[in-house]
Structure 1
Amino acid sequence: MKLRKSLLAAAVAASFAPAFAGVLPDTLMASPAQPMSVEAKANLVSRLDARRAAAGLDSEHGYKLREQHPGVHGERIVRADHTFQGLRVFGSESVVVTDENGDIVSESASDRRNGLDASRAAKAAGKGAPDTHPAFAADEAIRVAVSRTPGTEHRSKPEAELLIWPVMKTVRTAAAANKAESALNALDVQDVVDHYELAYLVKTRMNKDGRPVFRDTVINAHTGAVIKQWNALQTVVGVGHSQYNGDVPIQTTLSGSTYKMLDATRGTGGSFGGMAITNANHSSANNPSPGAIYTNSTNTWGDGQNYISGGSTTNANGQTAAVNALWGMMNTYDTMNNALGWKSLDGNNTATYIAVHVDNNYDNAFYDSGCKCMYIGDGSSFYSLGSLDVIGHEMGHGVTDATSNLTYSGESGGLNESSSDINGEMVEAYARNGGTGTTIPAGNDWMMGKEISKSGQPLRWMWKPSKDGSSRDAWSSTLGNLDPHYSSGPNNRMFYFLSQGSNSSSSSEMYSQYLNKTPLAMTGIGNDKAYRIWFKANTTKLTSSSNYADARTKMIQSAEELYGVGSAESIAVKRAYAAINVGTDVDEANPGSVSITTQPNNVTVAPGGTASFTVGAAGGTSPYSYAWYRNGTQIAGATSATYSFVAQSADNGAVFKAIVSDSSSPVKTATSNNATLTVSTTPPPSELIVNGGFESGTSPWAGTTGVIGNYSGQTPYEGTRFAWLGGNGTTATETLYQTITIPSTATAATLSFALHIDTNESGSTPYDKMVVSVKNSSGTTLGTLATYTNVNAASGYQIRTFNLLPYKGQTVRIHFNMNEDYSLQTSFVVDKVSVQIQ
């Protein structure tokens, strides 16, 4: 790939010039404001203090201003921690919006301080405030935290903060006291303070075996006991290759006769004076050095190919990772700036940087809040990082870090991860449609990291998160116990429904059992409106301790402020959260109105194939009339519920929608979601495995076919049946195989299956195992693909993939062989076995 870059090319300048055309100033965030003066800060604290009495607080309670961001035109956003006797109350804070005169416009708070009472009566009752004098110094708290962190050396000096720690408990509301656990909705429970403890919050940033280990540890400052610990490293485990974006215009700087990957037009200050891409040059992930800014003698960079492990990081191949990073960072900046007026990660236009080529074969990317920057590895199991959605995701952590700072644990951790997934998808949509304009168009694939995966399986599916085997589709009372990457699932699904709508068919992956009002298929409001509502909530209302119920409340408030109380947008927010079991469903439209019941789906065809889009409607007065639009322009003669035509290569990427009108007077109308046409010359893969989901009995599987069925004690990955090898708790050998022939003409052959392992064994000794292998028709092993043991047990299913191309032109058996020892069961549950070839 030959990349044409320009320093300040006229074409590039022209493409960004009209960014704010037609947008009213008060709909965008204001330019970065000067930091508040001492007097202005004191004035705001005084105004907040004046509110204490109404909240039942005394003079021992206070406020400590933390962050400042620009609000919409004429307003300022300030985040203030709640304090007691000068100590921060963890998770208790206010987001305060003020006008030009310093008057408070609104205050959104997570209040966890009302039970703090230092009176003698409160202490005698065993309640109220803890003694604020610690029994030991911060150094001892750091020692305890380090002993509980699996690291071998420090990346940065540990920090310890003495604070008030509210010990929370979840209780049911009175109305839900007798509900079954399975019937609980997120609004049926609430988090309340059980009691308070004086604690140290210790932040350790360490390394182990060449990998960063970031932990936040809460330690009781009187007893030394560890109250809570969580992983503080915000990552997306995956990679991205560079071929996706073709030739892209990147913004560089000419210094003398040398070009630098420094974009001084986006962001100011920071480590390099602008947005920069640096070469970490394989410095250890233990403590990566950002290295120097990329330079080149010409303004043409990269070769568009995946990085060759062990090769130069500065030649054309090595530069490609930097090209990806700069293109992703430019588009992340422009998405938020052009559409929302939010500049850089903090809204104050502070420049950041991305360091590429971190470590060797490093399968990770992460945002570091210490430097407020991003590090990218080259990958091993995946392609090297750099896709638009991955960079948008990690930069999204920077936005959250600067604003709501959602704690990376429990439900707030899931919201934190979801916010980054949302950001990544919206950056992808914006960039895929030219990276200009003031709105977020359709065009993203709603799959995090699909392009960067060697197997083609994304890291996360926004519309059906549970497809990965670990994420949840809806809220439950145990959601907060999951890793944030998995507890993000329901909010990701909420955002998909909010933008794209749902489906009323129970067989659809876009169906929600919790939507039971009219119409059953909720109508989406599109990317632009959905993103504006989420971004406003995250930057002006959510706090570090926000959970799913609080997110719903703040999202409704944001929608009402942007689009009006009772607006279609605010109703859509209520329905989208109801769809994930957060709040109850509401009717969408007024009686008699027209609504879309069947949304047109995205279509993929080969050149010369027929592309068909269908819409369905209900309500109003029949009969209906239909008008189809392509890229916003009405299509002449397309007046039926289904629009079909023969697609050619030039039609790739075209976006279609329908407007349905009824026969009433005045006419009522409804507009469908957008549907994208993909015209691909790549033939769809062929499936070689028959009955890979075990739904059609046992044929043509051979071996111990009695393991196939629907047995209590295990659940399928999908459908109703699975193969359960092991689980006997006694000496046993079980095998399952199927014979396939891989054509000699195959250019790709991939085995994949869903695997769940649970065990009653303990420790790190492998007692029970399952071997996945390829054998010939005589049973001779041609290759062992993987060996799994009781040590690999994990909750949920994991998708496993392997390359079978070395066996093309052969008839082979795909074998699952299980051996279990004499005691303590290990179950190897297999489902959705597939071998796809190109």
Structure 2
Amino acid sequence: TSYSMRDTVGNYTTDLNGSTSSTAAGTTFTDADDIWGNGLVTSRASAGVDAHYGAEKTFDYYKNIQGRNGIWNNGVGARSRVHYGTNYVNAFWDGTQMTYGDGTSNTHPLVELDVAGHEMSHGVTENTAALIYTGDAGGLNEATSDIFGTAVEFYANNAADTPDYLIGEEININGDGTPLRYMDKPSKDGASKDCWSSTLGSLDPHYSSGPLNHWFYLASEGSGAKVINGVSYNSPTCNASTVTGIGRAAAEKIWYRTLSTYLTSNSNYAAARTGAVKAAKDLYGVGSVQCAGIVASFAAISAPVGTETCGTTPPPTGNLLLNPGFESGVVNWTGSAGAITTNTGRPAHTGSWKMWLGGNGVTTTENESQSVTIPSAAAAPALSYWIRTDTSESGTTAYDTMKVQVISGATTTTLVTYSNVGTNATYAQKSFSLAAYKGLTITVKFLMVEDSSLQTSFVVDDTAVTTG
């Protein structure tokens, strides 16, 4: 048997064997026993494994978190080429593929996870806003890749590369153990800027990216000293303000919508601020804490005031979820295509739309999720929904499952697991306390896994997150 380093969506990885050709495909890695590399540079496959892992995690992040089906949004993966040139200390996306050098003395391949996420996100930028690589737009371009490279690292949550707000910390490109860039205080690298100014656009985009990187950290985590995943940060502000973060999950979604909906090729920092406020209002509401947090974090990097402001409508005290009964279709929810549906094969609890996970009778993984901020003053916050289940399975083995999960930072908690065992085709309301998440931005996720035969349907409707 021969195995190939290629996945089902078309991500595949090749060995250039020192070639510097821009067109050479390289030789696709193959293996007889499906055990790849040894984790050391003594095996050429080791770099291939890390590059391929980065490509898969980047694809999965965009699909599962942002609802984007790959770099081109067409469900097709990309080629990754490793062992480019000799002593080549770089990695790059060229519009069609990823290429990685082996670093100093060919002993430090630049295949770290956030590097892969960073470079492949240039492809996403190229296929959305198409930001140019000069002036403010160049800095926004580079920072976007740092933001989503970091997001991919947190999404993977791999103990071998602890998620952090440092860029390229594992490749040791400086030779002294320091990262390439710091998001909490970009100026720590000696060249990047913490704050926007009218001369920022004259810098190399890697350095003019600093203010937007700083914005993302502040929007996600807030200002001041703190320790996250064992890493110490101390993020200042440019206007002496104190910023409270809205949570990384919300900041990621807001910036992706900004990139994909509101930015154009020549956008500057003012346009970025305006677009992000619009995106926050789209996703979370005009009077949401997320919108206010976006304004505060852009002000904290001295970004020019744009044309958009948050509304004065107070944060909702009823249902905090948007489009909770799915009657607006897929709006405000992120997940699998077709899961939110008017298909009459299963009834909605109310209205015409519902979330129907499963029902396929083949190996399938589906999910839907939405981020929400739980007010710190909430009396008794809770998640509720109506659910009906039916199955063609029999027996007491849980072949098909659906988990209801809460994601907070890097921690995923499963509130309940439903399966083909003990189904109930009559809608019943379920409720779970969210008291542990007061003051936090969380993601509520419904995750279904179905095996290779005999369908089980998990149908959810009329969801709610209430404050009590």
Which TM-score band (shorter chain)?
0.5 to 0.7
Matched, 1:258 2:8: no
Per-residue CA deviations over 1:511-565 (Å, capped at 9, x if unaligned) read 214154xxxx322122211111111111111100000000000011011001111
* DSSP 3-state at the match of 1:523: coil
How far apart in 2 are the matches of 1:289 and 1:554? 39
Per-residue CA deviations over 1:483-518 (Å, capped at 9, x if unaligned) read 00000000000001111111289xx831214154xx
User: Which of structures 1 and 2 has the larger relative contact order (alpha carbons within 8 angstroms, sep 6+)?
Assistant: 2
How far apart in 2 are the matches of 1:447 and 1:588? 34
* Structure 1 residue aligned with 2:164: 445
Structure 2 CA distance for partners of 1:631 and 1:375, relative to 1, 3 Å:
closer
Per-residue CA deviations over 1:224-261 (Å, capped at 9, x if unaligned) read xxxxxxxxxxxxxxxxxxxxxxxxxxxxxxxxx32111
* DSSP 3-state at the match of 2:14: strand
Structure 2 CA distance for partners of 1:587 and 1:659, relative to 1, 3 Å:
farther
Matched, 1:297 2:25: no
2:13 pairs, out of 261, 269, 277, with: 277
Matched, 1:503 2:229: no
* Structure 1 residue aligned with 2:137: 412
Structure 2 CA distance for partners of 1:462 and 1:358, relative to 1, 3 Å:
same
Matched, 1:530 2:251: yes
* DSSP 3-state at the match of 1:391: helix
User: How far does residue 292 in structure 1 lie from its aligned partner after superposition?
Assistant: 2.0
* Structure 1 residue aligned with 2:46: 320
How far apart in 1 are the matches of 2:168 and 2:435? 30
2:291 pairs, out of 555, 567, 570, with: 570
TM (norm. structure 2) is 0.63
User: How far does residue 407 in structure 1 lie from its aligned partner after superposition?
Assistant: 0.4
Aligned CA RMSD, in angstroms, stands at 3.7
User: How far does residue 374 in structure 1 lie from its aligned partner after superposition?
Assistant: 1.0
* Structure 2 residue aligned with 1:539: 260
2:271 pairs, out of 550, 560, 580, with: 550
Matched, 1:364 2:133: no
* Structure 1 residue aligned with 2:215: 494
* Structure 2 residue aligned with 1:342: 68
User: 5 Å matches for 1:356-505?
Assistant: 356-369=82-95, 372-380=96-104, 383-432=108-157, 444-453=163-172, 454-503=175-224
How far apart in 2 are the matches of 1:384 and 1:357? 8
How far apart in 2 are the matches of 1:658 and 1:565? 25
Amino acid in the other structure paired with 1:374? M
Per-residue CA deviations over 1:776-814 (Å, capped at 9, x if unaligned) read xxxxxxxxxxxxxxxxxxxxxxxxxxxxxxxxxxxxxxx
- Higher relative helix content: 2
**What is the aligned residue count?**
326
How far apart in 1 are the matches of 2:224 and 2:12? 43
Amino acid in the other structure paired with 1:320? S
How far apart in 2 are the matches of 1:630 and 1:295? 34
How far apart in 2 are the matches of 1:553 and 1:491? 13
How far apart in 1 are the matches of 2:441 and 2:261? 31
Structure 2 CA distance for partners of 1:658 and 1:499, relative to 1, 3 Å:
farther
The runs of 5 or more residues in structure 1 that have no matched partner are: 1-256, 267-273, 309-316, 435-441, 592-618, 621-628, 634-656, 661-668, 674-838
* DSSP 3-state at the match of 2:439: strand
How far apart in 2 are the matches of 1:510 and 1:421? 17
The runs of 5 or more residues in structure 2 that have no matched partner are: 227-232, 315-375, 378-408, 414-433, 443-468
Per-residue CA deviations over 1:668-718 (Å, capped at 9, x if unaligned) read x63499xxxxxxxxxxxxxxxxxxxxxxxxxxxxxxxxxxxxxxxxxxxxx
How far apart in 1 are the matches of 2:436 and 2:2? 54
User: How far does residue 365 in structure 1 lie from its aligned partner after superposition?
Assistant: 0.5
Amino acid in the other structure paired with 1:557? K
* Structure 2 residue aligned with 1:746: none
* DSSP 3-state at the match of 1:384: coil
Larger radius of gyration: 1
- Higher relative strand content: 1
How far apart in 1 are the matches of 2:211 and 2:410? 32
Per-residue CA deviations over 1:126-151 (Å, capped at 9, x if unaligned) read xxxxxxxxxxxxxxxxxxxxxxxxxx
How far apart in 2 are the matches of 1:546 and 1:475? 14
How far apart in 2 are the matches of 1:523 and 1:277? 42
User: How far does residue 567 in structure 1 lie from its aligned partner after superposition?
Assistant: 0.7
How far apart in 2 are the matches of 1:584 and 1:406? 20
* Structure 1 residue aligned with 2:360: none
TM (norm. structure 1) is 0.36
Per-residue CA deviations over 1:317-353 (Å, capped at 9, x if unaligned) read 1100000011110100001111122111011223311
- Whether contact under 8 Å (1:659, 1:670) holds in the other structure is no
Per-residue CA deviations over 1:575-628 (Å, capped at 9, x if unaligned) read 11001001469999999xxxxxxxxxxxxxxxxxxxxxxxxxxx98xxxxxxxx
